[in-house]
Structure formats: C-alpha cells, structure tokens
C-alpha cells in the first residue's frame, strides 16, 4: 500500500501527479531544485523538499538526492514522471533497495526492455510485427552489410541504447552504409555510452502510432487504444491525436489486441507505450517501447475516461487491474498540442523569462495541463514545455474547430510560444485532411505555417 508519494519531477507533470495523488487520497511531497522553488507544484503542494541546485545532474538526475529526500520526508513511494530518471533501472533498483515503491516497471523489467534490439526480438517472438531488421545488434561493418543485403535498402542505422531521435542514420546503398557505420557507432558511444547499433528497413513518409498499455502484477494486460504521433519536428512530437486517421478498423483492432497480448506475455508491468511505424502497406510495425507515463497520455485519458496516472500508482501499489478490456471503449476524437516556450520564427529557439500575463483556455471538453501562472519565471535549465492543450470532439472536425477556439483563448505573454504555429497548422489542408506524416512539417515549412495564422479582428496585418 502506498500512502505518501515523493514526486521526483517538475513542470506540468509534477502537478499532474500531485492531482492524481490527491484524487487517490495519498499524501504527496514535491521534490524540486533551487530553480523551481517558485513552481506551481511546489506552491500548491502540502509539502515540498528542495533536493539540490538548478543543475539537473545534482537534483532531478541525482538518485541519492531523490531517495534521501523521500526518506527524509517519510515517503513510501517515488514517482519519477517522464524523462530524467523515469526509465533508469539502476535508480528503480536503488529506490526498491531503500524500501520504497518505484511507481513504474521494476528494475528487472526496465533492464529487460532497455535494449531496443532485444526488445524488438522479444516482442516479435510474442507475435508483434516488426520492421525487417538485423537480428539484434550488428557487431561490425561486415555484419551490417550482410544484414542490409538480406533486409533490402534503404536501411536506417539505430543506436541500441538511443532515443529521442538521436543516433540514427539512413543509408540507401552499401557504400553509404560503409561510410556511416563507424560515424554512427561513435555518435552512439558519445551520446549513450553504448556504441552498439542495429539496423532496420527505412520507411519514409510514414505515420507514427503508439499503443497505451497497462499490465498488473498478475500479467493481466490491457490496451487503451492508439495515439497518432506523426506530427514531429526533428523526431520531437508536437501534436498527438486519437484515434489515428490512417488505420482501418480491422488493422486497428488486430494490432491493438496483439500489442496487449505480446506485452503481457513478455512480462511487462505497470503502464507503458509501444511505438509503431505504419508501413506503405497500412500496417503498423513495432519499433520501440517507452517504460513510463508519457507526455501525451492525456489524449488517451480524454477518449477512454481512464485516469492513467492514477492507474499507474494503483498498479505500482500491487493492486489487480481494476477494469476489463471490454470496459475500455474509446469515444470521439482528442488532439493534444504541446505549447512550448520556443520561437517558431527563429528555428524554435528555446525561450526563458517571466510570464507577464497568462490566461488558460477552458470550456466544454477543453483541458489545459500547465504549471504556468502570471509572474512565473520560466527557468532556462530544463525543457521548454509550458503546457499541453487537450481538446475533445465527437469527430475530428469538431475537435479541430474547438481547438482553434481554445488556442485563441490561450494567452501567454512574456515569452514566445508555439501557440500561433498551431493556429497556422490548423489552417493547413494537409492537416485537416488527416494526411499527417512524420515529414509533413518539413514538407510544409515553418514559414508557410506561420503565414497561414488567421488575423484576429482589430489586429494589424503581419502580426
């Protein structure tokens, strides 16, 4: 039984976890760095504990500081949120070693799913379609060339320990593969401390879909539908929606059921996400797993009515799955926009500074998960996410229309944000038609998207 949770994260997710704890009747302590002393989660928490200086390595990434803070404040569980230490097996193990519950998959499970190549092989064994690729890691250039000739070009080289779009290179023929192999291995070694690579067939202009799953300690595995995360910029997701516009009902049902079955059989526990690329044949192929609650989880919450963070905490406490697959019936359409402190007109340059004015959108089926308030100082040390606008509609068209109104209602002064970029995006025929692909933003161009932002009445042209 969990009674008191240390929230070892910041920003909007710290607030989101705090709300879930309150709803479950649990006490919560927010752990924060010196730079976040004035953050909203700290201000509204019953108790908060400073764990170190602004530098994340000495605060949010410091396992000793976080565990010590949990013990000093009498907590019996640690919620790592996303990013930082959320998928770190050594951290999860240390948390457990101090008699605390890690809210997420246990250390052995994180270990098992750490390697992308091994995870792909494991889930393929339990019936998930994967993109044709090497059998695990390719040890050297010769092995890579041999595997590539079997798979067929173009191929993409990937770091086994990679993520977030880093450590990847495409090769269209053997010469290019030879040229890229050692460079990619060195990059992977530098970025992740592990130079091992695998390769898979490269699918261009595809859709990126993912399945939200949850598994209890008895192996009961459920899926909560899919999210389409195709709209990306440099492999960073900007907009997520559910359901996906590209899957036929038959394909969707099949891949969701397979995903839940495979992940349960593979021994996973707690909440997680299986990511897939949709091939030219319209079928999803598994690429990787995220062993944490994700930024875009509210999209699924809004269409299914399930509080995934509360479910995550409940499952971590040892409870059995409190629902059946039949009870999860996604309804309507949800879209999430990641509002970040970035200037789209300046190549999405991150911004920091004081929020001089702030007004959040509201109204029916509009949710804005954010830690902002007027007077809040956006610190320069961490990621630039300011909030997530999640809008529901009975249909995709209704969700889009409501999103336009909600984006207009959102007012953030003091730093540049991506709000107008999304208003422009919602004018794009490609987006409105649902033809969202991973390369869509590059194809359209940021300038064209920003130029499409409709003028508001009374606003001078060019604003």
Nearer of residues 67 and 302 to other proteins, judged by Cβ: 67
The one catalytic residue among 10, 292, 338, 367: 292
Q: 241, exposed or middle or buried, with CB in 10 Å at 0-12, 13-18, 19+?
A: buried
Q: Tell which one of 4, 73, 168, 192 touches other proteins (CB under 8 A).
A: 73
Query: Under rule CB under 8 A, which residues in 276-295 are in contact with other proteins?
Result: none
CB of 58 to other proteins, least distance (A): 9
Q: 3-state DSSP call for residue 125?
A: helix
CA–CA separation, 95 and 118 (whole Å): 25
Nearer of residues 39 and 417 to other proteins, judged by Cβ: 39
Q: Tell which one of 30, 67, 107, 123 touches other proteins (CB under 8 A).
A: 67
Note whether 355 binds other proteins by CB under 8 A: no
Query: Under rule CB under 8 A, which residues in 138-177 are in contact with other proteins?
Result: none
> Positive or negative CA dihedral for 406, 409, 415, 416?
positive
DSSP 130: B
Asked if residue 142 lies in contact with residue 174, where contact means CB atoms within 8 angstroms, the answer is no
What H or E segment, with its residue span, contains residue 303?
helix 297-304
Note whether 41 binds other proteins by CB under 8 A: no
CA–CA separation, 1 and 215 (whole Å): 18
Of 46-54, 272-280, 359-367, 439-447, which segment contacts other proteins by CB under 8 A? Answer: 46-54
Note whether 68 binds other proteins by CB under 8 A: yes
Note whether 96 binds other proteins by CB under 8 A: no
Q: Tell which one of 8, 17, 65, 92 touches other proteins (CB under 8 A).
A: 65
The b-or-e profile of 122-132 (16+ CB within 10 A means b, else e) is: bbbeeebbbbe
Nearer of residues 52 and 414 to other proteins, judged by Cβ: 52
Nearer of residues 94 and 391 to other proteins, judged by Cβ: 94
Q: In which region does residue 171 sit, left (phi positive, over 0), alpha (psi from -120 to 50) or beta (all else)?
A: beta
Note whether 90 binds other proteins by CB under 8 A: no
Whether residue 56 has a cis bond before it, omega within 30° of 0: no
Note whether 51 binds other proteins by CB under 8 A: yes
Note whether 50 binds other proteins by CB under 8 A: yes
Note whether 34 binds other proteins by CB under 8 A: yes
Nearer of residues 68 and 245 to other proteins, judged by Cβ: 68
292 is annotated as an active-site residue:
yes
CA–CA separation, 64 and 56 (whole Å): 13
Note whether 98 binds other proteins by CB under 8 A: yes
Pick from 379, 391, 386, 327: nearest CA to 353: 379
Asked if residue 152 lies in contact with residue 201, where contact means CB atoms within 8 angstroms, the answer is yes
Binding site for other proteins (CB under 8 A): 34, 49-53, 59, 64-65, 67-69, 71-73, 98
Active site residues: 292
């Amino acid at each position: 039984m969990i009674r008191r949770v240390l929230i070892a994260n910041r920003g909007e997710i710290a607030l989101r976890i705090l709300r879930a704890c309150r709803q479950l009747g649990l006490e919560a302590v927010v752990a924060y760095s010196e730079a976040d002393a004035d953050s909203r989660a700290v201000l509204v928490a019953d108790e908060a504990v400073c764990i170190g200086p602004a530098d994340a390595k000495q605060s949010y990434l410091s396992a000793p500081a976080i565990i010590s803070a949990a013990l000093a404040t009498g907590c019996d569980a640690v919620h790592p949120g996303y990013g930082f230490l959320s998928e770190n097996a050594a951290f999860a193990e240390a948390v457990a070693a101090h008699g605390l519950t890690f809210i997420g998959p246990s250390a052995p499970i994180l270990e098992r799913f750490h390697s992308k190549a091994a995870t792909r092989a494991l889930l393929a064994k339990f019936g998930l379609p994967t993109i044709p690729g090497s059998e695990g890691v390719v040890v050297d250039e010769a092995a890579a060339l041999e595997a590539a000739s079997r798979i067929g070009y173009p191929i993409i080289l990937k770091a086994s320990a990679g993520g977030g779009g880093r450590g990847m290179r495409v090769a269209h023929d053997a010469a290019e593969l030879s040229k890229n192999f050692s460079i990619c291995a060195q990059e992977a070694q530098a970025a992740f401390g592990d130079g091992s690579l695998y390769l898979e067939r490269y699918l261009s202009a595809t859709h990126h879909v993912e399945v939200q799953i949850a598994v209890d300690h008895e192996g009961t595995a459920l899926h909560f539908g899919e999210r389409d995360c195709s709209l990306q910029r440099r492999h960073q997701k900007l907009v997520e929606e559910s359901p996906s516009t590209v899957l036929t009902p038959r394909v969707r049902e099949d891949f969701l059921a397979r995903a839940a079955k495979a992940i349960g059989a593979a021994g996973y526990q707690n909440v997680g996400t299986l990511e897939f690329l949709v091939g030219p044949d319209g079928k999803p192929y598994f690429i990787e797993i995220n062993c944490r609650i994700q930024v875009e989880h509210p999209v699924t919450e809004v269409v299914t009515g399930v509080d995934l963070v509360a479910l995550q905490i409940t499952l971590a406490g040892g409870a059995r799955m409190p629902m059946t697959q039949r009870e999860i019936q996604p309804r309507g359409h949800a879209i999430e926009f990641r509002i970040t402190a970035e200037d789209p007109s300046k190549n999405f340059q991150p911004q920091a500074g004081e929020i001089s004015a702030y007004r959040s959108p509201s109204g029916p089926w509009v949710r804005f998960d954010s830690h902002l308030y007027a007077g809040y100082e956006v610190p320069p040390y961490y990621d630039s996410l300011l909030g997530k606008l999640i809008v529901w509609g009975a249909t995709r068209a209704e969700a889009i229309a409501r999103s336009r109104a909600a984006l207009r209602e959102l007012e953030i002064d003091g730093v540049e944000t991506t709000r107008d970029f999304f208003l422009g995006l919602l004018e794009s025929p490609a987006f409105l038609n649902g033809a969202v692909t991973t390369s869509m933003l590059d194809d359209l161009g940021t300038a064209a998207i920003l130029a499409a932002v409709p003028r508001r009445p009374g606003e001078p042209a060019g604003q």
